[in-house]
Amino acid sequence: MTCELLKGFRMLDLADEKGALCGKLITDLGADVIKVEPPGGCSTRNIPPFLEDQPGPDRSLYFLAYAAGKRSVTLNLESPDGRALLADLARKSDFLVESYPLGYLDSIGLGYEALSKLNPRLVYTSITPFGDRGPGKDYKAEDIVTWAAGGMMYLMGEEGKPPLEMALPQAGLHAGGEAAIASLIAHYSRQSDGLGQRVAVNMQACIVWTLMNEQAMPILHGDHLERTGVYTGGLGARKKMVYQCRDGYISSVVGGGASTKALVDWLAEAGFAADWMKQKDWSFWTPGLFMKATEKDLQEIEELEDCIQRFFNTMTKREIYDNALKRRLLLAPVASVTDIAADVQLKARNFLVSVPCDTLGRTLTMPGPFAKLSETPLDPPRRAPRLGEHNQEVLGDWLGLSADRLKQLRNSGAI
């Protein structure tokens, strides 16, 4: 069963790690997404780590995750025949997404101007690190560089230590998600008037958007945040976001209201609460959230955090989280993939699914559909393609190329 949302629609996916998630999401919605790879394979096939640490074109965990369900065609865009084939495929496609350096596809006759003449319906989405106009329009940018340029890196890490990115780079995933929704906005328009358009996604801007409006602080408050490790700051308060426990960490912030009241009750039951905590009315206690924290607030925060820390030291993540669920605390375990794999909620919703991968002679487990739709369920993931696996199918079926012609193209290095 193919998801009916985009069933019958086709996307040419020429994006690397700056936009691989775009084609993956469009695949989930039911479209036929063709990954157009150079004869040596897309660079995303070479992203480590590899399955069992054995490098190979079908073993990159990144590729296995974000090329899932796509089909693969190899085209040598450096050869005239390869370019002509891409143009022919574009005539029969609805979407194209790419993340080449700005101007590269234009320079080989495959830019929006050229392809939209062949197919005015085409939605042509380009992802660039720094937009298409500024002094940095031709800048090179690996994930960590846009993470830094967009402002998230500055805020991650501890004072006096280097700013951080995550162990699994994220900037390209944000850009890929944005490319997907922007392509669909253009799609909605095209489906009413038959005209496609060019969509330009700006990776740096995608990261700025993740800052939860922190960007406005300098202008409105004349201030900006610094890196504060496990603390969250602002308005004179400094609160812990992360507590240690017996086997890891717990995330929670003392914010007042019902959750803090419930947490204090629990501390009291276990003998970890000070007397003043039991007597205090926590309902309107929100220092550093909606008002500036006073000296007294700061002292209360510190004492309360200290009690929580001593209490959490006695328990595991699991025990604390189970209690939090019962007591309706605003709290989460700092979950590792081990915790995620064991989570009862994900199991109850059948979120993680097994995907047979004959290319590897095994099944893989990966995230299932990103939402549950009642009328048109999203497609569960299918395995990532082998390099050029669908040359025959796609070039043969879409373009009507004969077996002889395909052989010829293969011999000339076009595919």
Q: What is the x/- site pattern for another protein, positions 73-92, by CB under 8 A?
A: --------------------
Residue from 2, 79, 119, 170 in contact with another protein (CB under 8 A): 170
Residue from 91, 92, 121, 198 in contact with another protein (CB under 8 A): 198
Closest CA to 262 of 320, 349, 190: 320
Query: Considering only residues 270-289, where is the footprint of another protein by CB under 8 A?
Result: 289
Query: Considering only residues 53-72, where is the footprint of another protein by CB under 8 A?
Result: 61-62, 64-66
Query: Considering only residues 218-237, where is the footprint of another protein by CB under 8 A?
Result: 218-222, 224-227, 229-230, 234-235
Cβ–Cβ under 8 Å, residues 10 and 73: no
Residue from 200, 274, 315, 399 in contact with another protein (CB under 8 A): 200
**205 CB-contact burial (10 Å; exposed 0-12 / middle 13-18 / buried 19+):** middle
Task: Give the shortest CB-295-to-another protein separation in angstroms.
Answer: 20
Residue from 1, 295, 348, 358 in contact with another protein (CB under 8 A): 348
117 vs 349, which CB is nearer to another protein? 349
Q: Mark out the alpha helices in 194-336 (DSSP H runs).
A: 203-209, 217-221, 257-269, 275-279, 295-312, 317-327
Torsions phi, psi of 112, nearest 5?
Answer: -60, -45
37 vs 178, which CB is nearer to another protein? 178
Amino acid of residue 98: E
Cβ–Cβ under 8 Å, residues 68 and 367: no
Cβ–Cβ under 8 Å, residues 204 and 146: yes
Residue from 2, 79, 119, 210 in contact with another protein (CB under 8 A): 210
**In angstroms, rounded to a whole number, what is the distance separating the alpha carbons of residues 99 and 43?**
12
Query: Considering only residues 125-164, where is the footprint of another protein by CB under 8 A?
Result: 130-158, 161-164
Q: Which stretch binds another protein (CB under 8 A): 268-276, 306-314, 338-346, 406-414?
A: 338-346
**In angstroms, rounded to a whole number, what is the distance separating the alpha carbons of residues 243 and 220?**
32
Task: Give the shortest CB-308-to-another protein separation in angstroms.
Answer: 15
Task: Give the shortest CB-346-to-another protein separation in angstroms.
Answer: 7
Amino acid of residue 360: L
Residue from 108, 268, 346, 406 in contact with another protein (CB under 8 A): 346
The first and second tokens of residue 48, run together, are 């480590």
Question: Partners of 10 in the beta sheet?
Answer: 32
Which residues 6+ apart lie within 8 Å of 83 measured at CB? 77, 108, 109, 110
Task: Give the shortest CB-392-to-another protein separation in angstroms.
Answer: 28
Residue from 283, 294, 313, 365 in contact with another protein (CB under 8 A): 365
